[in-house]
Chain A
Amino acid sequence: MSSEKKPPVIVVLQLTGGNDYFNSVIPYTDSNYYDSRKTFPVSQDDVVKLDNSMGLHPTMEPLKAIYEQGDMAIIHGVGYENSPRSHFRSMDIWHTCEPDTVGTEGWLGKAIRDIDPRGENPIIGVNIGQALPRALVVPGVPVASVNDLTTYGLLTNVEEENKRAQILERFSNMYGQAIGTGPVNDYLARTGLDALKGADILKRGLGKYSSNVEYGTDNISKSLRDVAMIHTADLGTRIFYTQHGSFDTHASQKPVFDKLWTEVSRAINDFWADLREHDADDNVVMFLFSEFGRRVRDNGSGTDHGAAGVCFAIGPSVKGGMYSEYPNTNADALEQGDLVPNQDFRGVYSTLLDDWMSLDPVSIVGGHFERPKFIEDTLVTV
């Protein structure tokens, strides 16, 4: 047991493409579910029951134990008013907390700026994936974006160690000298140096990692393993971001949805086992969201874009259970055939930012929103 209090860390897992809420957390006593989902219903027998009305999709079985230990919060009906039902626009809104205008600053980028206003550690935020998500982008705020941790770095075309060190020194000098030669050059040079520094810290800090957990070979397993490697190396990273998908199941929903959730559930379980093995789980909260849920009535093969979705928060510091309410599934309560959100996503973010990360949520999410209290009241203290 570590004697000092470790700073809180958040791991965001984005379910890209619009995860089907109605099929993930199933109100298995609700006849509306069986009336609307005739193509691929999950029978009452197959639902992984959490209580006497709600259960998980069978592929999410590995999450049941976490829920029963009280380490998983299910936050119902999350979204915002007037959902545009567009992937990109909706994802943008989730990323920037700007439902009415096109925002340029991501909510987690702002959080990174608040944690490290002078940008001293370029890996306070780490994205595992190809492109940096908008959630992490604030101009001038460095973030590492790692596609493959084993090969991450600049100028990886040079393989030989000594030569690479030399080349990177040249790079560092060139970029350092470009500072002060004009505003755009300044910006480009600082960005290049931050990327170099981040890659350097990651390269030096890793290497010691070993684990008895055997992760799967799918992408989300690899990504969460990379998160575990960086987190257990204690490099000061506070915000991790990764994603899996595509959950955009307009067609062939059954095989696609089943495969994705099988992978995600297993990867989550492996990830937490790995952190426990390294005694590194106490200060971590994992957060799952998707840009929207899907239409209540299936279309004969899949489901179309919807509105309200579900979020999950997982970790020893999470106060497990159900939060908010399952939206009314009666036909006359739906909007354009979709579940209506009853919990603003910015309230969920506020809980994570304030109760967990001890940051001021108001400036980050742009206002005050009702907060589900899913973080344990007392943090792990000395």
Chain B
Amino acid sequence: MKNIESIAEIAHLMRRAGFGAHRDELEQLVAIGYEAAVEGLLDPSEELMPADDYLLYRYLPSTEVGGPNPVPGAANWLYNMVNTDRLLEEKMALFWHQVFATGNSKVDNGNHLTYQIQMFREHGTGNYRDLLIKLAQNPAMIYWLDNHENHKRAPNENWGRELLELFSLGVGNYTEKDVFECARAFTGWTIGAKMPRAPHHRFSWHYEFHPEQHDYSEKTFLGETGNFDGEDIIDIILQQDACSRFVARHLYNFFVEDEPQVPSWSIEPPRNPEAIDLLARTFVDANFEIKPVLRVLFNSEFFKNATYKKVKSPVEVVINTLRVTGDALGPDPRLLELGQYPGYMGQSLHDPPSVEGWHTGKEWVNTGSVVQRINFVADHFSNVDLPGVKSIVSHVISNGEVMTPEKLVDRCLEYMGPVQASDKTRSELVTHAKSEGPLDCSDNQGDDVARRIGDMLALIGSTVEYQYC
């Protein structure tokens, strides 16, 4: 049974660190072993390619302009998530989008949101210090948090405050004076703009430092005094215990299990304090490199024991379904519509409700979104023409026998996940399978066999268990 356990463990890893994998991929990964699979995610080989954006632009030119689509850039990102081979980089981009939540509602510049996500892809598994500096100089972020309005004689605190509250330390770890001093240090970090190429296009922005707007005078920040600029501020932030713990807690919430929402972190202790200590310590020891923390996290027992303990985010529901069923691969014309599906389920890409990001965990689910979630999954897994579903069907019937209803259910659960169903759920699934009797896979009734399996997969996709990741 070692193999079954290994498959389940690898499947868990791939759901969390990526967007789920199909059986053939899982079996290949089992062959190389769990730790090697983690390394493959952390350091993908050169042959593993990101999605080809130019292919997308060629087939769907409107995705290049980033203006007129319902949520500009959502289709682009969906395409990237469905097609990339570099899974953890993509998942970390999603992670940082949740932490450094930037929204088109205000930025109104889809291209620059897309560039910000690309920056997360490139630096999201690198060094956190570099990432914060890139973020402070990211045009979409500068505009989102008004740092272009942050002048020596009229400091605007928006970026300075959120850097401390939501991007690095958390409430309670700084004073109002620190916010003001932090804002002063970032004065003059602004954007330059080039005229759009056409009336409907957006301005092209780039980072600029304006020395005449920068406040070069002395600042006192978190107990230290000097003529600090933004980089100095970030260095002082990194020295705070609260910083490594803040990042550790976010990683735990995103990859391991659902934590209370960010605003309550100052009053609610973490669910697993030892895990947070370990991750935070690793982060500091690694000089704020992110990969070593992820390596420890994915190889930890607390991670391996957390199977099906997180409610899937809408993006996870959609991307997992598309990747596993093999739908909408490549520059599919339905991408503009599909890009909106996470939004229908409550997670509009590039458009978080506020700089605080989304409320996660069970708050993803309400009577509206649950219907969207279940039907999206069921519509895909019952479509036995999709290559991924075909593959599951062929695995389920691979032993060519007459399957009892129990066997049919167990094999569907196994090859769809493996999905861990409770006894009660399993017995309902068996009741359903019994309504059409044993399944004869040998009698050339191919269409009906596939249909029955597809219906079973859809019903499994509708279970309470399947709402978890």
Contact = CB atoms under 8 A, between A and B. Distances in A.
Q: Are A and B part of the same complex? A: yes
Interface of A: 86-89, 92, 102, 104, 122, 127, 130-132, 134, 136-137, 139, 142-145, 147, 152-158, 166-167, 170-171, 173-175, 177-178, 181, 184-185, 187-189, 191-192, 194-195, 198-199, 250-251, 301
Contact of A191 (B340, B370, B372): B370
A174 B374 contact: no
B431 interface: yes
A86 B105 contact: yes
Contacts, number: 144
A198 B429 CA distance: 23
Interface centre among A89, A122, A134, A199 (most CB of B within 10 A): A89
Given A170-B431, A174-B425, A192-B370, 14 more contacts: A88-B351, A89-B354, A127-B368, A131-B369, A155-B378, A155-B458, A155-B462, A157-B458, A158-B458, A174-B428, A174-B462, A178-B422, A188-B467, A199-B371
A86 B425 contact: no
B425 A177 contact: yes
Contact of B379 (A130, A157, A174, A195): A157
Nearest to A250: B108
Contacts of A152: 371
A170 B429 contact: yes
A130 B340 contact: yes
B367 A198 contact: yes
B366 to A, nearest CB: 6
Contact of A87 (B105, B369, B371, B455): B105
B72 interface: no
B293 interface: no
B344 interface: yes
Given A87-B105, A89-B106, A178-B422, A188 B464 contact: yes
B432 A89 contact: no
Given A155-B374, A177-B425, A92 B365 contact: no
A171 to B, nearest CB: 6
B168 interface: no
Contacts of A142: 367
A145 B353 contact: no
Interface stretch (B185-193, B356-364, B392-400): B356-364
B63 interface: no
Given A131-B343, A155-B378, A251-B199, A177 B424 contact: yes
Contacts of B382: 157-158
B435 interface: yes
B311 A184 contact: yes
5 contacts: A131-B369, A177-B428, A188-B365, A195-B368, A250-B108
A165 B429 CA distance: 15
Interface residues of B, number: 52
Interface centre among A174, A192, A251 (most CB of B within 10 A): A174
A302 to B, nearest CB: 10
A145 B345 CA distance: 11
Nearest to A125: B367
Contact of A145 (B106, B258, B371): B371
A143 B359 CA distance: 19
A133 B258 CA distance: 24
A143 B369 CA distance: 10
B362 A184 contact: yes
B249 to A, nearest CB: 19
A47 B346 CA distance: 40
Contacts of B105: 86-89
Across the A-B interface, give the 5 residue pairs with the lowest CB-CB distance, nearest first. A145-B368, A132-B368, A88-B105, A177-B424, A157-B382
Contacts of A170: 428-429, 431-432, 459
B455 A158 contact: yes
Given A89-B354, A185-B464, A188-B464, A139 B425 contact: no
